[in-house]
Structure 1
Amino acid sequence: MSHYQFFATTPKAMEAVLCEELKQLGAENIKPALAGVAFAGDLATAYRACLWSRTANRILLLLGTFDVKTQDDLYYGVKRINWFEHMGPEDSFAVTFSAKNSEVITHSHFGALKVKDAIVDQMRAKFHKRPNIAIERPDIRVNVHLQGQSAQLSLDLSGESLHRRGYRDITIQAPIKENLAAAMLLKSGWPDIAKAGGTLIDPMCGSGTLLIEAAMIAGDFAPGLLRDYYGFLGWKQHDEEVWLAIREDARQRKLAGMDKIPVIAGFDLDRQSVNAALAHIANAGLQHKIHVERRDIADAEAAASWPPGLVICNPPYGERLGDTQETADLYQRFGEILKTRFIGWKAALIISDPELGFRLGIRSQKPVTLYNGALECKLLRFSIEPAAFFVPKAKTPEERISRAVEGSQQPAEDAVGADMFANRLQKNLKKLAKWAKQNQVTCYRVYDADLPEFAVAVDIYQGEETWVNVQEYEPPKSVDPFKADRRLAGVLAEIPKVLGIPKANVFLKIRRKQKSTDQYEKHGETGQFHVVEEGGCKFWVNFEDYIDTGLFLDHRPIRLRIQQEAKGKRFLNLFAYTGSATVHAAKGGAIATTTVDMSNTYVNWAKRNLALNQIEGAHELIQADCLEWLAQEAAQPYCRQYDLIFLDPPTFSNSKRMEDVFDIQQDHVQLITHAASLLAPNGVLYFSTNFRRFKMDPQALSDLRIEDISAATVPEDFSRNPKIHYCWRIQKTCAE
């Protein structure tokens, strides 16, 4: 059997685990790379990797490499392959294209079209017939990765990502991918624990992924055995006899291994999660091997007959679920449960915030870095023994601040230098209150870290009452936490005095550096909304339940500009948040508006804002992934046309509702291109971002006229921070 060169992709930081797997599967010349592993072997080796790898995403068969210095180089490089050896004219295929650091091809869609054209032209020249394009389950899937000027052309033998085992069909909040779950188990020593007959318990099991992966490992159950589709099944060189033999061997190993599965149990308080777990376990054929019940974390405990083993879970963490304080308390309770009920066991959990790990009060081994999507996490592993226990000293910022305000050793009014802050706030207020009155501005920023010792932003909102939203920028680690807390206590004490408002009208948020979160993450459940005004429009704001209030104050000038330009126009608001720009457009006389946001919460909020302003008529609200919606609309032969578009995307997003990770720097060209395709003749697109290191790529957008209007869109109350956002006015270079 011939030998081939392969490349197995895997999530970043899982390369070492995949190397070990491939070694066990008989692979040769194993060489780890970033997010993947190169190896050599025959087809049987590749088939075994597809069937047995628990951590790989895809197995790629390398067909060739070539230089791409021009767009035609890509076309002819692909065309040099004899595609008749891989497919017939009646077959279907799909193309996956990615590019990194390429100056020639920056659009993945364009690159995929070039590859497709090369294959179709070759097949049509011989057979006078073009093969079919099939996005779902094609006979073969072609993969091209362009790194700089070097292209790697491969066949995707997996067809679709190998993490999709085939047992999971119910989506719950914050699911963990199957191959990440497998990596957690492998790095936590579960194979040896299972061989010794140890028990596995997941006390926060969600939809059961860790339980099922644990059972598959313990029972010698090939993770790909449930799948009925692979990318090699429709390939002309597929060796059916070899594949069936490998698959049959896996079936026999599964039959022999099922009796070796030890006790595996999962608990979860959420009824929907438990039902999902039971359904997934049944889909995997493991319904008599895994025990699941509805049980609160406080009641997590092993039955007397269950031997000690491994407690493992994917608990809520700051960027993923829940209120910060509530999450911190959960970890502290979980630590107490481990220390009182699971002595002699091993434990493991994946976490993104090291502070939460300290709340357990158990010393861990050296953490293992893993990635949950794009979010960097640590796998903490513990031996639950009294010698490893300690009393957690670290507290959440909210707890420390509350203690500083309510019960510090000195009165809060005496906190370090609070009078300096009060004087600066009074000075700013005197200047800005006059400006606000002259310009009929009722919501504005009055202080923005003017004094380095007091790193807070203070925003005033005036409605039936005056409210103040205080955001503390997380202090650097070099700052003594006690001093930082004392200063913040002083800030919170001085604001009501200077502004003459009740303490209850001052709200505090701690704005931490966000690694990969949605900027609209929910933080509370008070449901307390208030009405404020801006430019003749009314808006609902909320000071307690979200990191932002529902009205981005720095966008006030661009909203007013939209209102002034909207008369008689069709307006599109993308990544619309609470629809404030839509309200301004409608108030300015827009004949029709379309408002698109992925969050149903914010689409409903936008609907409430429109109703608050008694706006009726042709005002469409769409709950959808803006990237997907834009791509679909731009691909229509007769796409929608808008005279005015506002595009204000997040800097980064890996929301569970999105298939891919979004990065504004990497993806802005395609995003702006799609949005601009919806512009009517003489239409205007306003694009804004708050990513401070953002660099517009005008060369890639050379068919557009781009004008930087950032300076004109930063309001007076944000003049201390001119990089609060960037904004461009964009038009097509000529009317179509």
Structure 2
Amino acid sequence: MANNFRMIAKTLYGFESILAKELLDLGAMEIKEGNRMVSFVGDLGFMYKANLCLRTAIKVLKPYESFRANNEQELYDNIKKLPWEKFLAEDGSLAIDSAVHSEIFTHSQYVALKTKDAIVDRFREKYGKRPDVDLDFPDLRINIHIENNFCNVSFDSSGDSLHKRGYRSATNIAPINEVLAAGMLLMSGWDGQCDFLDPMCGSGTIPIEAAMIACNIPPNLNRKEFAFEKWSDWDEDLYEKIEESALKKVRDFHFKIKGFDKAPSAVMKAKENVKNANLSDFVEIKQQSFFESEKENEGYLHMLFNPPYGERLEIDIEDFYGKIGDTLKQNYPGTHAWFIATNFDAIKSVGLRASRKIKLFNGPLEGRLLKYVLYEGSKKKSKQENN
């Protein structure tokens, strides 16, 4: 179709296939997985929909131009000759993000600076005035990606990273990224068809993301703005139709989602964030030490959490992760427990055999998303009953 164009959704390491499935379920075409990104085809309405509804995307980019540049002058010249006045007024504002993987261009901030110089010089020569730089709320956010000597220029339709959902006004000392939380939930197979527990919930991100998945609530419904709202082709009526259509697909939830934390300050923050997300009817947060807890209901329990890993919170790793293993084994039969660990010595201290280990990154730290299956009674008996 003539109104379709190719887009790129950026994501975290290991989430490419999950993001591709999200795009397929939303109705994207020509989906291709890459490294920390998935490309796809859709129209303007689908670009709005992708920003609103994708749980594992960090950015949605609209590619504009590609060229080869063997030095900074070629980069400058190629950027300068593009008709930026089609997209930006001379008294408007811009911001430039850049990423470089190149022996020629080794400094991303310098590439961003040269790009800015080329654009403002074009405006100055053409109109005698130039756009300003506004890093927070620009009229146009431009993304430059250089691989060796190949430069891709894109428009950033998202603005702030899509992990900034808009519900988190309060955080604890080591909050988990919302996209990472949603990706782990989807990777764990969470679909809202049973009870859920995050026994170390901090500021409540994982239970909130779990509730939004269970109820099929668009993850970025609470965001204040997207970058595309300042574009010249912004169609507010179309966006409202997209949002209305997405909200019609929200479903009810008949199980319990709970979050525990032993710190009163974390519990207070988590409750505030749950309220901000309008999920108080679905998520219960309470002050409780996981190590002094036990499974509350019969039936299958889905557990996912992000325990402290000694980087920013001082703990005795060996003792702490040993207690995690003991508590799961003794107090949580009939549970599939998932958690992310970035300390590989800590994993050994759990004392249970993980049935799955998936490589992920929590920020810059390499980690593993681990799955532990806790059976009701003996493992042999459970298998016989399941069969």
- Alignment partners' CA distance in 1, 2:237 and 2:353: 52
Pairwise CA distance, 1:242: 2.2
- Alignment partners' CA distance in 2, 1:279 and 1:120: 43
Corresponding residue number in structure 2 for 1:309:
301
Q: Does the C-alpha gap of structure 1 residues 237 and 78 become closer, same or farther in structure 2, counting only changes over 3 Å? A: farther
Deviations 1:39-88 (A, max 9, x none): 22222222221111111111111001101112121122222322222222
- Alignment partners' CA distance in 2, 1:261 and 1:55: 25
Corresponding residue number in structure 1 for 2:76:
75
Corresponding residue number in structure 1 for 2:211:
215
Q: Does the C-alpha gap of structure 1 residues 137 and 300 become closer, same or farther in structure 2, counting only changes over 3 Å? A: farther
Corresponding residue number in structure 2 for 1:243:
239
TM-score (norm 2): 0.92
**CA contact under 8 A between 1:318 and 1:352: conserved in structure 2?**
no
- Alignment partners' CA distance in 1, 2:82 and 2:5: 16
2:366 maps to 1:376: yes
Pairwise CA distance, 1:346: 1.3
Q: Does the C-alpha gap of structure 1 residues 384 and 149 become closer, same or farther in structure 2, counting only changes over 3 Å? A: same
Q: Does the C-alpha gap of structure 1 residues 132 and 298 become closer, same or farther in structure 2, counting only changes over 3 Å? A: same
- Alignment partners' CA distance in 2, 1:132 and 1:252: 41
**CA contact under 8 A between 1:85 and 1:237: conserved in structure 2?**
no
Corresponding residue number in structure 2 for 1:347:
337
Alignment of 1:382-531 (within 5 A): 382-385=372-375, 387=378
Which of 254, 266, 279 is residue 259 of structure 2 equivalent to? 266
Pairwise CA distance, 1:387: 4.9
- Alignment partners' CA distance in 1, 2:129 and 2:239: 31
Pairwise CA distance, 1:320: 4.8
- Alignment partners' CA distance in 2, 1:388 and 1:364: 14
Deviations 1:369-388 (A, max 9, x none): 11101111111112211556
The secondary structure found in structure 1 opposite 2:255 is: coil
Q: Which moved more, 1:47-56 or 1:29-38?
A: 29-38
Deviations 1:166-223 (A, max 9, x none): 11122322211001111111111111xx1x3x11111111111101000000011111
Root-mean-square deviation (CA, aligned residues, Å) is 1.9
Which of 278, 288, 295 is residue 281 of structure 2 equivalent to? 288
Amino acid at match of 1:382: Y
Q: Which moved more, 1:165-174 or 1:181-190?
A: 165-174
Gapped runs of 5+ residues in structure 1? 390-736
Gapped runs of 5+ residues in structure 2? 381-387
Corresponding residue number in structure 1 for 2:86:
85
Matched positions, count: 378
- Alignment partners' CA distance in 2, 1:387 and 1:357: 23
2:219 maps to 1:226: no
Corresponding residue number in structure 2 for 1:25:
26
The secondary structure found in structure 2 opposite 1:260 is: coil
**CA contact under 8 A between 1:50 and 1:59: conserved in structure 2?**
yes
- Alignment partners' CA distance in 1, 2:38 and 2:60: 10
Report % sequence identity. Answer: 37
- Alignment partners' CA distance in 2, 1:369 and 1:242: 39
Pairwise CA distance, 1:231: 1.2
Deviations 1:261-286 (A, max 9, x none): 52111111111111111111111111
TM-score (norm 1): 0.49
Corresponding residue number in structure 1 for 2:324:
334
**CA contact under 8 A between 2:342 and 2:362: conserved in structure 1?**
no
Q: Does the C-alpha gap of structure 1 residues 352 and 235 become closer, same or farther in structure 2, counting only changes over 3 Å? A: same
The secondary structure found in structure 2 opposite 1:78 is: helix
Amino acid at match of 1:28: M
- Alignment partners' CA distance in 1, 2:254 and 2:245: 19
Deviations 1:67-123 (A, max 9, x none): 1112121122222322222222232211112222232x3332322122112222333
Which of 181, 194, 198 is residue 202 of structure 1 equivalent to? 198
**CA contact under 8 A between 1:169 and 1:280: conserved in structure 2?**
yes
Corresponding residue number in structure 2 for 1:40:
41
**CA contact under 8 A between 1:10 and 1:57: conserved in structure 2?**
yes
The secondary structure found in structure 1 opposite 2:210 is: helix
Corresponding residue number in structure 2 for 1:298:
291
RCO comparison, higher one (Cα < 8 Å, 6+): 2
Pairwise CA distance, 1:250: 2.4
Q: Which moved more, 1:42-51 or 1:226-235?
A: 42-51
Compare CA radii of gyration and give the structure with the larger one. 1
Corresponding residue number in structure 2 for 1:95:
96
Amino acid at match of 1:273: A
- Alignment partners' CA distance in 1, 2:231 and 2:328: 51
Pairwise CA distance, 1:359: 3.1
Corresponding residue number in structure 2 for 1:147:
147
- Alignment partners' CA distance in 2, 1:235 and 1:319: 41
- Alignment partners' CA distance in 2, 1:46 and 1:157: 8
Alignment of 1:681-692 (within 5 A): none
Corresponding residue number in structure 2 for 1:693:
none
- Alignment partners' CA distance in 2, 1:18 and 1:5: 16
The secondary structure found in structure 1 opposite 2:154 is: strand
- Alignment partners' CA distance in 2, 1:107 and 1:353: 31
The secondary structure found in structure 2 opposite 1:206 is: coil
Corresponding residue number in structure 2 for 1:13:
14
**CA contact under 8 A between 1:3 and 1:41: conserved in structure 2?**
yes
Pairwise CA distance, 1:249: 1.7
Corresponding residue number in structure 2 for 1:54:
55
